[in-house]
């Protein structure tokens, strides 16, 4: 008798595998958990050790092996190997121990894994589509064995976390993001496809490396690049109609151009721009419960004016617009410091168009410390990728200006964080409301332990994707991310805040993702983007479509 859990679907009429083929099918393989009846029916007799283990026992054994590894990179390799052979067990381990495993499968360890991706490469996962495939992208996409892909996470590797241009080594990012989609929001792994577009790299170290796994050429740009991306998006829509495309870790210029070109034409979003914006805004909203300063009265100073920073600014402006604040006034509540100092009009340099709406009248200052004194912000948000740029002086100034200063050091990985949790609390006399992109452990301060929140996009993008797919949305717009941000902020409890976190516990991530998915789907129905009739119970409709990793 075949267990119901093995019957994923008869995708495209593919026959159900048996014997060794079944053991090599990571989506159906149960390893030593196959029952005696299944072993007889599926030709597994003799191919497995005779003792049968429960999933709980398998998780316990895997966790023990995981914890024995001597480094985080070795733990990453262990988890990727487990995913390759038994995805259900992999996701059960993740879900049961998310606070321990998420820093391994994603930030900060995924950064190191990407740097060493060529050296730790064991077996392929996802699709690499190179610029040399230009003109044949559709045929390459059709090599993917799973029919009906619904979710694509794609990168060109130009801006991997805060590490820069890693070219083809950036594949660890879409793989990691999709693992979080499944673990945190229940997207079935069968329907998920990670893709790296190899358009070359300008990283000289990689170009000189004889073992670099990508194309040994400089990055395509201009018409060559644009035509290739146009072909990719069109081919993806043809081969996998109705799929959601998440653009991930593209360079600033290309990221804004791609989003601007496609956001009103297909179901897509850019997590670095929109996901980061939503999770940061949610943190700001939750922080108001502690500071007592309403969102409309916040004055936010950003260090970094790229995708993440201006994305947060734009969503903040939209949020204030919902509260009756004019766009002009809302923009005046957002100030930016980039590599050339405070962003103001007539600064003398040519600004990218995404910065222009936030260039205000004012006097130029060169440093962040001077900007804090001049702007007197209620919140300081770091998205610069410059580690330790929130100096002691900057943090002390924030504490002098505010009773409860909001300090978000969101750059990844940990080495790029603008300050540590300990520094934030030490230099604000324990009064700072701190959040970071990478996780930090609890900090002992004057007899109490403060547990900082992690402003990780994992709180946002899985729920947004789930909500869009469950109603077959034709678009994902900024109002959906605003709804996601407000939903996330509402899930922050008094207990979370008392511990020092402006985000919910990761142990509640599936429940939070479900709430966000419902809110996103509600917006899609309200805007007329949903392609299927609205179910009587939308939350139940979404919940029933969440993959649960059980045999």
Is 9 exposed, middle or buried, given 0-12, 13-18 or 19+ CB atoms closer than 10 A? exposed
| 345 has catalytic annotation | no
Q: Read off the tokens for 187.
A: 């997207």
Q: Annotated catalytic residue: which of 30, 76, 117, 177?
A: 177
- The per-type count for the chain, helices as H runs and strands as E runs, is 24, 14
| 177 has catalytic annotation | yes
Q: Annotated catalytic residue: which of 76, 106, 181, 503?
A: 106
Torsion sign over Cα 491, 449, 413, 376: positive
SS (H, E, C) 394-455: HHHHHHHHCCCCEEEECCCCHHHCCCCHHHHHHCCCCCCEEEECCCCCCEEECCEEECCEEC
Is the peptide bond preceding residue 42 cis, with omega within 30 degrees of 0? no
Give CA 490 to chain center in angstroms. 20
Residues 177-207 as b/e (b if ≥16 CB within 10 A, e otherwise) read: bbbbbbbbbbbbbbbbbbbbbbbbbebeebb
DSSP secondary structure letters along 286-349: HHHHHH---GGG--EEEE--SHHHHHHHHHHHHHHHHTT--HHHHHTTEEEEETTEE-BTT-SS
Q: Which residues are catalytic?
A: 106, 177
């Amino acid at each position: 008798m075949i267990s119901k859990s093995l019957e994923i679907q008869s995708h495209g009429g593919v026959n159900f595998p048996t014997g060794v083929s079944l053991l090599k099918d990571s989506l159906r393989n149960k390893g030593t958990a196959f029952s005696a009846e299944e072993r007889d029916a599926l030709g597994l007799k003799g191919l497995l050790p005779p003792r049968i283990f429960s999933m709980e026992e398998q998780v316990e054994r895997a966790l023990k092996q995981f914890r024995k590894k001597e480094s985080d990179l070795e733990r990453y390799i262990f988890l990727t190997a487990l995913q390759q052979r038994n995805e259900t067990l992999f996701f059960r381990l993740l879900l049961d121990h998310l606070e321990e495993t998420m820093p391994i499968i994603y930030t900060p360890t995924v950064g190191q894994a990407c740097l060493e991706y060529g050296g730790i490469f064991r077996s392929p996962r996802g699709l690499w589509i190179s610029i040399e495939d230009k003109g044949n992208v559709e045929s390459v996409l059709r090599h993917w064995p799973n029919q009906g892909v619904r979710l694509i996470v794609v990168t060109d590797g130009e801006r991997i976390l805060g590490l820069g241009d890693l070219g083809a080594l950036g594949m660890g990012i879409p793989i990691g993001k999709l693992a979080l989609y499944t673990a945190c929001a229940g997207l079935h792994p069968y329907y998920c496809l990670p893709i790296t577009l190899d358009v070359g790299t300008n990283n000289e170290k990689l170009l000189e490396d004889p073992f670099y796994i990508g194309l040994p050429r400089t990055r395509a740009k201009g018409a060559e690049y644009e035509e290739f991306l146009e072909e990719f998006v069109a081919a993806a829509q043809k081969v996998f109609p109705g799929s959601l495309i998440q653009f991930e870790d593209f360079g600033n210029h290309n990221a804004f151009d791609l989003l601007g070109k496609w956001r009103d034409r297909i179901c897509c979003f850019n997590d670095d721009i929109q996901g980061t914006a939503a999770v940061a805004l949610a943190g700001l909203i939750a922080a108001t419960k502690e500071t007592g300063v309403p969102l409309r009265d916040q004055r936010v100073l950003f260090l970094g004016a790229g995708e993440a920073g201006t994305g947060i600014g734009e969503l903040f402006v939209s949020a204030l617009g919902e509260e009756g604040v004019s766009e002009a006034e809302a923009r005046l509540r957002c100030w930016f410091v980039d590599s050339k100092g405070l962003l103001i009009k007539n600064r003398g340099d040519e600004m990218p168009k995404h910065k222009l709406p936030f260039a205000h009248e004012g006097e130029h200052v060169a440093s962040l410390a001077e900007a804090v004194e001049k702007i007197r912000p209620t919140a300081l948000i770091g998205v610069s990728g410059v580690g330790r740029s929130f100096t002691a002086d900057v943090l002390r100034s924030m504490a002098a200006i505010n009773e409860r200063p909001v300090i978000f050091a969101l750059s990844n990985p940990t080495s790029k964080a603008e300050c540590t949790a300990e520094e934030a609390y030490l230099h604000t006399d324990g009064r700072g409301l701190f959040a970071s992109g990478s996780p930090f452990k609890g900090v002992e301060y004057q007899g109490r332990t403060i547990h900082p929140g992690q402003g990780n996009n994992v709180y946002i993008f899985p729920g947004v994707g789930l909500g869009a797919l469950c109603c077959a949305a034709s678009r994902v717009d900024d109002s959906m991310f605003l709804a996601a941000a407000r939903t996330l902020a509402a899930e922050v409890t008094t207990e979370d805040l008392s511990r020092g976190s402006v985000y919910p516990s990761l142990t509640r991530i599936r429940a939070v993702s479900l709430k966000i998915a419902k809110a996103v789907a509600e917006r899609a129905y309200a805007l007329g983007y949903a392609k299927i009739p609205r179910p009587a119970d939308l939350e139940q409709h979404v919940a029933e479509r969440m993959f649960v990793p059980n045999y």
